[in-house]
Amino acid sequence: EKCVTMAIEQQEDKIKIGVLALQGSFREHCSMIRRCGGEAVEIRSASQLEGCQGMIIPGGESTTMANIARRWNLFDALREFEDEGERCVWGTCAGLIFLADRIEQGAKQGGQELLGGINVDVSRNFFGSQIDSFETTIPCDIPGCSENDVKCRAIFIRAPAIKKVGENVEVLAKYYLSEEKKKEMGVDIESVVVAVKQKNLLATSFHPELTSDLRWHELFMRMSKGCKPFQSKLAKVGEDRKPEEFQPLYTHPDLPVFKDQVIADV
Catalytic residues: 93, 207, 209
Three-class DSSP labels, the chain:
CHHHHHHHHHHHHCCEEEEECCCCCHHHHHHHHHHCCCEEEEECCHHHHCCCCEEEECCCCHHHHHHHHHHCCCHHHHHHHHHCCCCEEEEECHHHHHHEEEEEECCCCCCCCCCCCEEEEEECCCCCCHHHCEEEEEEECCCCCCCCCCEEEEEECCCCEEEEECCCCEEEEEEECCHHHHHHHCCCCCEEEEEEEECCEEEECCCHHHCCCCHHHHHHHHHHCCCCCCCCCCCCCCCCCCHHHHCCCCCCCCCCCCCCCCCCCC
